[in-house]
Structure 1
Amino acid sequence: MAAIVLYGWRLFLNLDTARPARYLGDATNLMSIWALLPIFAEMIEPKDSPLVRLHGRISRAVITRTVSNAAGISMVGAMVYMVVLPEYPAAVLTVAVTLGVAVVVSSHKTWTRMRKLCTRVHMNVQTLVRDLEELADSPDETKRAAVVRSWDEVHRDLLTRIDSGYWLLGRPFLPIDAVTVLEVKVATALDELPHNKNAGGDVLADFEALLAVCATRIDTVA
């Protein structure tokens, strides 16, 4: 990703004002980065120990999306540069500033989205943990229903994309397989609590790991 940033920076520093059409290849390269980088990053994302690797997964998702968005905006800049420069050379600075602001805004939105999602996951997992602990102390069916409702909230959060609101483009908070494993553990705890006091221990440990990762990214005013 550092190489991609350096590529765009060198492109900006070495503008060829005499031959704007030469940037067609650069625009194509930037378009490929914009379209394929998040897909490639998801393909090589480690699949083992998802909770242990969650901290890195979140960071990689937002960094990849930030670089991808910057490449896409730079692609637009290269295309506009080819079209605008021959006819309106004075507009180049205006376009460059506009695109620079677009990069900053898109990056800010991506990182804000991540912090909001982590805050939401932390809040809802805390509620689910408390509901499970209360169920362990009492067979009250209302407490069992509360666990089901809380899990529904957490389930939605864990499938929410970290870096994008578009389902096909973003990376889910946890891999779908990991969410399924958690769902089975919650169902097991629901079946066995409160008769088996140790039934929820496994899933509670997983939730504690989730809380620890999200705690470092809490932002209640994002």
Structure 2
Amino acid sequence: MVPRAPGCLASAGNRAVQDSDKYRVLVLGATLTLTLAGVAASLKVYARFRKLCTALNRQAQSLLRSLEELEDAADDDRTKHRQSARRAWDTLHELVVTKADTGFSIAGVFVLPPAAVEELEQVVMTAVEADRGDEGVHRFAAQRLRAIQEACRGRIDAMA
């Protein structure tokens, strides 16, 4: 009789399965299948993350351009440029509330936590509604958007 450690109910049975020629192919196949599935899932998450970083960078740049155009717009064109900036924010907002790794609403990590999204929205909307000469508000919003772009740098894949 093989002595067993306390709490170890099936150590002898496991050893028999691992040493048996009958089960060796099954154990090897299961191990390879699980390993390949893990690698494939990791690659899929990495590709998703690259696509998300690319989209974040593009949309942050689009919003920056919209804010610059708004700042330089004549008084009669400001309404049109404000609407353009709001649309650019709507698209960026969609990206920052996305789950970065899974895309599932139950599991995963948000690109930005909800409090940071609310703060960013407040900064951007303040810049959109600001009067023509208020450069400090626009500069602050631009700094926040450039921080997003900086975080995405190195993970951008234009072919993703």
2:130 aligned residue:
192
Q: Residue 143 of structure 2 aligns to a residue in which SS?
A: helix
Preserved contact between residue 82 and residue 129 of structure 2 (Cα < 8 Å): no
CA distance in 2, matches of 1:102, 1:17: 27
1:147 corresponds, among 75, 79, 85, to 85
Structure 1 position 216 matched with structure 2 position 154: yes
1:172 aligned residue:
110
What one-letter code is carried by the residue in structure 2 that aligns with 1:98?
T
CA distance in 1, matches of 2:30, 2:157: 33
2:3 aligned residue:
none
Two-structure CA RMSD over aligned residues (Å): 2.4
1:130 aligned residue:
65
1:60 aligned residue:
none
Question: TM-score, normalised to structure 1's length?
Answer: 0.60
What one-letter code is carried by the residue in structure 1 that aligns with 2:67?
L
CA distance in 2, matches of 1:193, 1:121: 27
Identity %: 34
Q: Residue 85 of structure 2 aligns to a residue in which SS?
A: helix
Preserved contact between residue 193 and residue 200 of structure 1 (Cα < 8 Å): no
Moved over 3 A (4+): none
2:5 aligned residue:
none
Q: Residue 209 of structure 1 aligns to a residue in which SS?
A: helix
Gaps in structure 2 of 5+ consecutive residues: 1-9
Q: Which structure: larger Rg? A: 2
CA distance in 1, matches of 2:128, 2:159: 34
The one-character-per-residue Cα deviations of 1:87-119 (angstroms, maximum 9, x if unpaired) are 844311111111111011011011111111110
CA distance in 1, matches of 2:51, 2:64: 20
Structure with more relative contact order (C-alpha pairs < 8 Å, separation 6 or more): 2
Q: Residue 60 of structure 2 aligns to a residue in which SS?
A: helix
The count of residues paired between Structure 1 and Structure 2 equals 146
What one-letter code is carried by the residue in structure 2 that aligns with 1:19?
G
Question: TM-score, normalised to structure 2's length?
Answer: 0.82
Preserved contact between residue 159 and residue 172 of structure 1 (Cα < 8 Å): yes
Gaps in structure 1 of 5+ consecutive residues: 1-15, 22-80
What one-letter code is carried by the residue in structure 2 that aligns with 1:129?
L
1:101 corresponds, among 22, 33, 36, to 36
